[in-house]
């Protein structure tokens, strides 16, 4: 039940220090990347050394999985002194509490890797990409921030692409932009789900969008 979720009433009340205890950046450095439904955290662990001064957070709804990721990060920090200080994981329902954690325009990257497909039409409202939630994603992303999505489910890929394309505050990256982005190559294989899809010889569909400046609405 919801009362078992720990979340701040507003982002200003969130104490990040316990999550990044030895991350040597300025006091007011905030989380910049969010991995929504991070699962076992493979993406965070791959991204961590690429952007050492940038704080990243995985959000995961399953208690055991979130605990596993937190323990794994602590272990990595112990094994590799000075490294993996910029990643953390919290257990939360990202569909409900994102604006409790992040202020307007705080994030530069949002990741949705292999989100749950919720195949049946009656369950589509549970999809983590939908009209209402896109407004929230636009809110927490800064101008020019990037949203990355990958799925092995064609129907979900088409669904996500349509929702982002229809939204006035998002535009798809061009192929040249995708080729120039060092993060893109990590999206397919860094996570446990991505590796499972590879083992099962499944397809992977990528869709990446830029958050447009709000003045496009004027």
Binding site for ligand SAM (CB under 6 A): 37-39, 59-62, 65, 93-95, 113-116, 191-194
Helix (H) or strand (E) holding 149: strand 141-151
Q: Report the SS3 class of residue 33.
A: strand
* 27, 64, 195 from 199: Cα distances, Å: 43, 24, 6
112-129 exposure pattern, b = at least 16 Cβ within 10 A, e = fewer = bbbbebbeeeeeeeebbb
The smaller minimum CB distance to ligand SAM, of residues 112 and 212, is found at 112
| 51 within 8 A of 73, measured Cβ to Cβ | no
Q: How far is the CB of 211 from ligand SAM (least distance, A)?
A: 20
Q: How far is the CB of 97 from ligand SAM (least distance, A)?
A: 8
Q: How far is the CB of 19 from ligand SAM (least distance, A)?
A: 16
- The structure tokens listed for 205 are 């569909």
Q: How far is the CB of 26 from ligand SAM (least distance, A)?
A: 29
The smaller minimum CB distance to ligand SAM, of residues 148 and 212, is found at 148
**Residue in the structure block whose two tokens are 């323990």:** 71
Catalytic residue among 35, 116, 155, 166: 116
* 39, 127, 150, 155, 165 from 192: Cα distances, Å: 8, 20, 13, 21, 28
Extract the annotated binding site for S-adenosyl-L-methionine: 37, 60-61, 93-94, 113, 191-193
Q: Is there a catalytic annotation at residue 2?
A: no
The smaller minimum CB distance to ligand SAM, of residues 59 and 73, is found at 59
Extract the annotated binding site: 37, 60-61, 93-94, 113, 191-193
**Residue in the structure block whose two tokens are 């990590």:** 186
The smaller minimum CB distance to ligand SAM, of residues 200 and 218, is found at 200
* Residues tagged active-site: 116
């Amino acid at each position: 039940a919801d009362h078992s979720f720990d979340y701040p009433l507003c982002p200003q009340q969130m104490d990040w220090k316990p999550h990044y205890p030895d991350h040597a950046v300025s006091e007011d450095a905030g989380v910049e990347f969010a991995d929504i439904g991070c699962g076992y955290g493979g993406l965070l662990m791959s991204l961590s050394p690429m952007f050492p001064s940038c704080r990243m957070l995985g959000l995961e709804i399953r208690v055991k999985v979130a605990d596993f990721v937190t323990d794994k990060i602590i272990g990595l920090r112990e094994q590799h002194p000075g490294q993996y200080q910029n990643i953390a994981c919290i257990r939360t329902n990202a569909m409900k509490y994102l604006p409790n954690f992040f202020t307007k325009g705080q994030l530069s990257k949002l990741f949705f890797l292999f989100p749950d497909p919720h195949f049946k039409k009656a369950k589509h409202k549970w999809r983590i990409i939908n009209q209402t939630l896109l407004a929230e994603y636009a809110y927490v992303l800064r101008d020019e921030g990037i949203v990355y999505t990958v799925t092995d489910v064609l129907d979900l890929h088409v669904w996500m692409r349509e929702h982002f394309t229809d939204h006035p505050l998002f535009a798809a990256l061009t192929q040249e932009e995708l080729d120039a982005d060092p993060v893109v190559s990590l999206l397919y294989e860094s996570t446990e789900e991505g590796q499972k899809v590879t083992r099962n010889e499944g397809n992977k569909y990528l869709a990446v969008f830029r958050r447009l400046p709000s003045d496009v609405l004027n």
